[in-house]
Amino acid sequence: DGGITQSPKYLFRKEGQNVTLSCEQNLNHDAMYWYRQDPGQGLRLIYYSQIVNDFQKGDIAEGYSVSREKKESFPLTVTSAQKNPTAFYLCASSITASGRRNEQFFGPGTRLTVL
């Protein structure tokens, strides 16, 4: 089956620890995205990548880092510098970042709770 996988579904960490969220896609999409969602809110863009070895900051990149060493993988690290990391994190991909075929497909999400 083609799709986007995120793991784990639920993640608990102690305050001050870095944590890495996994995102893998086998859709052969060039572009990948990370969003954060807080209760009752829409999604906010953290980082996006248009192509391997390239990524750009979104609206709320502070306290987060990413890498894009492989086309199918786009891991997100939540660092201790992120002041309020508890949230629902969503990864998405699209065929391209721009142009007509850029509807985004989403993974199931990871719910991170920092204790």
Partner 1 sequence: DAKTTQPPSMDCAEGRAANLPCNHSTISGNEYVYWYRQIHSQGPQYIIHGLKNNETNEMASLIITEDRKSSTLILPHATLRDTAVYYCIVRVMDSNYQLIWGAGTKLIIKP
Q: Contact positions toward partner 1, by CB under 8 A?
A: 4, 31, 33, 35, 40-45, 48, 50, 56, 58, 88, 90, 92, 97-100, 102-109, 111
Of 14 and 100, the one with the shorter C-beta distance to partner 1 is: 100
Least distance to partner 1, CB of residue 107, Å: 5
- Taking the complex as a whole, how short is the minimal distance between the CB of residue 114 and partner 1, in angstroms? 18
- Cis omega (within 30 of 0) on the bond before 8? yes
Q: Count the neighbouring beta carbons within 10 Å of the beta carbon of residue 17.
A: 12
Residue appearing with tokens 């999604």: 43
